[in-house]
Amino acid sequence: MTLVHTAHDRAVTTLTLDSPGNRNALSAALVGDLTDALTRCGKDSDVRAVVLTHTGNTFSAGADLREPPHPDAFVGLLRQVVELPKPVVARVTGHVRAGGLGLLGACDIAVASGDATFAFTEVRIGVAPAVISLPLLPRTDPRALARYYLTGERFDATEAVRTGLLTAAGDDVDVTLEPVLDGLRRSSPQGLAETKSLLTAKVLEAFDRDAAELTALSARLFSSAQAREGMTAFLERRDPVWVV
């Protein structure tokens, strides 16, 4: 059974993450299904733009700690979103955590409902937001990232817009998206592809320069003793030993 459902309407394909049992956590299976769906969108001349959304109250809870994807596969997915010759628009109506924020950051446009919440929780389980920094650092306010990377604090949609993580937020996400999708439908495929290439050049430079190093860092941290304690504590719903 696929974990990503596809729908098409007037040149826009919507990909819906549908793994409610783990809050759309980035498992190996989900990453694989999303990679395949994006590949199909990239080859389909009828697709002008892609909307990435979700079922349930969570866009993505981050890496699936029970069935994590290989770091190279996750980096490949993030790069695929950035390189896709069609705009990718995130539609968020719930919570986004950890690695899910990397997926959000890779999208060209990101719109959320006003009650959405966000948090970089990696530091609280003994790891770092390593590979997700590839799309985030070039696009997001560095002072804000310093605070939220280091503290793991939760923040709201208004703050996410201020920091550049989101493009816009509103009470009704579909009302907020309406002019965005209308604009994309009025734009030529060539114009969109070439304009996106201009906008993503700096992000792709970060991938070329830093992807291997950050993938190795992620693998090293996830295999560390502190990460094992942090992940075990998370799964057991208790504080890790370093909480004071």
How does pLDDT run across 35-70, given as a tens digit for each residue?
999 999 999 999 999 999 999 999 999 999 889 888
Q: Of 226, 218, 225, nearest to 63 (Cα)?
A: 218
Residue-level pLDDT at 66: 87
Q: For the chain, which residues make up each domain, given as ranges?
A: 4-172
Where does 5-131 have alpha helices with state H?
28-43, 71-83, 99-106
What is the CB neighbour count within 10 angstroms for residue 140? 19
Strand partners, 119: 97, 154
Q: What is the mean pLDDT of the chain?
A: 97
What average pLDDT does this structure show over 180-199? Answer: 98
State the pTM of this model: 0.96
64-97 tens-digit pLDDT: 988 988 889 999 999 999 999 999 999 999 999 9
Query: pLDDT, tens digit, for every residue of 105-128?
Result: 999 999 999 999 999 999 999 999
Q: Do the beta carbons of residue 38 and residue 107 sit within 8 Å?
A: no
Which residues 6+ apart lie within 8 Å of 47 measured at CB?
8, 11, 12, 13, 41, 86
Topology of the domain covering 4-172: 2-enoyl-CoA Hydratase; Chain A, domain 1 (3.90.226)
Backbone angles phi and psi of 127, in degrees to 5: -125, -165
Output the pLDDT for position 170: 97
